[in-house]
Chains A and B, each alone.
Chain A
Amino acid sequence: MGLRVLAVDDEADFIETLVKRFTYRQIPVTAAGNGPDALALLERESFDVVILDMRMPGMDGLAVLQEIKKRHPLVEVIILTGHASVESGMQGMSLGAYDYVLKPVDFGELLEKAKKAYERKKLNESRADA
């Protein structure tokens, strides 16, 4: 079973293109337009990696991240931030995110990080099983 991605961002154009590009590479991807939707989706289906935008109206990225880590500790999260500050990324990572990517995103880099995150998840799962 391969990498399954959940992309969360309030920018519809952005998320739509992201979905197209993952799909083009035969990676199953689901889009969510806000935090609560993402959390609902995570309840219903299982995902390996969540790509999560930090700034969203309503529930913001950090809150969603905390919620995900609480409910699905094994799911890896990659933070997307328009704030080119290292510290907001660091803050996310200290809350359990796998890594962060600055907007505008280099898709190759994002894909790379998603794959690595998936590998780590697999590793963590095998450890948990053992």
Chain B
Amino acid sequence: MIQDELSRLRLKLIAVTLAFSFIPLLSLGLGLYAKFYDTYTEKIYGNLRNLADNKKVTIDLFLTERVAQLSNLALTESYADLSGDAYLERIFGVLQLHSKSFLDLQVIDQNGICVSYVGPYQLRGIDYSHEDWFRTVMAKGIHISDVFMGFRKYPHFNIAVSRREGDRTWVLRAAIDSDIFDSLVRTIQLGKSGDAFLLNAQHVLQTKPRFGHDMFDTVPFPDIPRFSGTRVDELSIGGEVSLYAMTWLNLKDWLLVIKDDPGEELLPLYRARWLLILLLCGGGTLIVIGAVFIANGTVRELIRAEREKATLDASLTQSSKMAALGKLAAGVAHEVNNPLAIIMEKAGWMRDLLSEEDIKASPNFQEFADAVAKIEFHVRRAKDVTHRLLGFARRMEPTQENLDVNLLLEQTRSFLENEANFRGIAFVRDYQADLPHIESDASQLQQVFLNILDNAIDAIDKNGSITIVTRKLPDTPEVEIAITDTGNGIPRETLEKIFDPFFTTKKVGEGTGLGLTISYSIIEKLGGRIKVASEEGKGTTFRITLPVSS
């Protein structure tokens, strides 16, 4: 019952301690982690975005410059001049001075026929009128193609611009080495598995990526509608999650993609996460141990207090039991004494009459005499009981005399000397010579010693020894008297009954069972304690502790 309650209390204590420790610990840990996570990813995303921005500006700048060069040329030179191969060649030379990436240059009339050409191939006379790019440049004034191999077997792209001159329109078209993009994206400083590439609107690679694909492969990339600025996203492509910074070029519908391995970039973050988990586990274990420790300690304290209370209660009940019993016993004994007195007198009177001559002659004389003797014997027995009861119930205040316990024990022992000698019982005396005198009631103490020594002699019956030890207790102002006998001992189950009134194992007429009851109440009244330890068949020790001064 109480055990259940205590274990429930223990659990409750543990739970409360854990709750109040874990909640702050967890919120602190997780809060810090979240903050760190945010800041850190913010930084990584920021870095990637910057990188992408910069590259985009560079690529855009490159394209803008090339377009501007061609446009300037178209605006400043006339169709008549440029359609001559020799002049075109000179102009091409000037262009290449600015940029080595120009591969060739051609002039196309409004019917789509190449009229002049400078470059490694013979393209003059070719008809472009059915090509898509030709229609676009005629309509919009400019066209930038995707990167392709062409018959050059070399990745390049074309820029074409158109010019209206009088009533006709002509087109200036240049092939441009796309190596420049490769080198631009390749110079991006990336980690081990980082990558950078350009994609056209159909997800066809315009540069050669570091890993996985070749140029002109179609990459399984999600459709990214055109947007302005730079975006950084975590995307899962081909079952692999990576960070992607993406930005559309201004002049061409190419998407610049910078890929970064989050694992690599976020490594410090993962480390921090592990550290956090480790710290939480460590802290958690400590807290659990602490909580269990505290709860166990508290419960142990409670149990101890409970036990103390129980013993106190027990001794209180014992003494109030004694007091109530004392009053009752005194009343009963007194009432019983008067009829006993009458029986005694009547028996005495019968004994008187038995000495008359005529009765002596009666054949039953002996029977009468025996009966009277028996009546007197049993009245005396009853008298023993009532007198002891009255002695026990005596509410006399104990006197206070300065007494020598050793001397008192010696006197008391001497009363029993003859009886002990007769039964072959030796006394072993171990008195502390400088035992302090105590303030107590000599006659009541003597009664106690007499009771205990009497019991010891009865327990030994024949041949044995009784050891009497007196000691000053080292820690408290008390003296201890230990009386040990080599008697038959007390069985465990009766050990707690021996102080009960009328508990006796002795023959009818030999023991009242009040000796120890009275001894107990006397010692208690004198402010001391009485304890018993016994081993069946070996002997018994009674220990009396008395205060030096009351």
Contacts and interface: CB of A to CB of B under 8 A. Distances in A.
B341 A82 contact: yes
Nearest to A105: B341
Q: Which label, helix, strand, loop or mixed, suits the secondary structure of the B interface?
A: helix
B343 interface: yes
Interface string A19-60: 011001000000000000000000000000000000100000
A17 B349 contact: yes
Contacts of B344: 104-107
A15 to B, nearest CB: 9
B396 interface: yes
Contacts of B394: 85, 87
Interface stretch (B216-224, B332-340, B519-527): B332-340
A87 B396 contact: yes
Contacts of A82: 334-335, 337-338, 341
B338 A11 contact: yes
A13 B383 CA distance: 19
B334 to A, nearest CB: 5
B345 A84 contact: no
A83 interface: yes
B457 interface: no
A96 to B, nearest CB: 22
B309 interface: no
Interface in A68-106: 80, 82-85, 87, 102-106
Interface string B325-360: 000001001110110111111101100110000000
Interface in B363-393: 379, 383, 386-387, 390-391
Contacts of A104: 337, 340-341, 343-345, 379, 383
A18 B334 CA distance: 20
Contacts of B334: 55, 82-83
Contacts of B338: 11, 14, 82, 103
A83 B344 CA distance: 17
B383 to A, nearest CB: 5
Interface in B118-151: none
Contact of B340 (A55, A80, A85, A103): A103
Interface string B377-418: 001000100110011001010000000000000000000000
Nearest to B396: A87
Given A11-B338, A13-B342, A84 B352 contact: no
Nearest to B394: A85
Contacts of B379: 104
A87 B441 CA distance: 15
B342 A84 contact: no
A63 to B, nearest CB: 19
A103 B341 contact: yes
B328 to A, nearest CB: 15
A81 to B, nearest CB: 9
A98 B197 CA distance: 136
A13 B344 CA distance: 11
A18 B349 CA distance: 8
Contact of B352 (A14, A24, A87): A24
B387 A84 contact: yes
A14 B339 CA distance: 8
A13 B340 CA distance: 11
Given A102-B387, A104-B383, A21 B348 contact: yes
Contacts of B337: 82, 84, 102-104
B515 to A, nearest CB: 16
Given A84-B386, A104-B383, A17 B396 contact: no
Contacts of B390: 83-85
Could you say which of B335, B338, B341, B352 has the most chain A C-beta atoms within 10 Å of its C-beta? B341
Nearest to B334: A82
Contacts of B342: 11, 13-14, 17
B79 to A, nearest CB: 154
Given A11-B338, A14-B338, A85-B396, A21 B387 contact: no
Contacts of B352: 20-21, 24
A103 B334 CA distance: 9
Contacts of B333: 84
Interface of A: 11, 13-14, 17-18, 20-21, 24, 55, 80, 82-85, 87, 102-107
Given A11-B341, A84-B391, A85-B394, 16 more contacts: A11-B338, A13-B345, A14-B342, A14-B345, A82-B335, A82-B337, A83-B330, A83-B334, A84-B387, A85-B396, A87-B394, A87-B396, A102-B337, A102-B387, A105-B341, A107-B348
For the complex of A and B, the 10 pairs showing the least CB-CB separation, nearest first, are: A82-B337, A84-B390, A17-B345, A104-B344, A104-B341, A103-B341, A104-B340, A84-B387, A103-B337, A107-B348
30 contacts: A14-B341, A17-B345, A17-B349, A18-B345, A20-B349, A20-B352, A21-B345, A21-B348, A21-B349, A21-B352, A24-B352, A24-B353, A55-B334, A80-B341, A82-B337, A82-B341, A83-B390, A84-B337, A84-B386, A84-B387, A85-B390, A87-B396, A103-B338, A103-B341, A104-B341, A104-B343, A104-B344, A105-B341, A106-B344, A107-B344
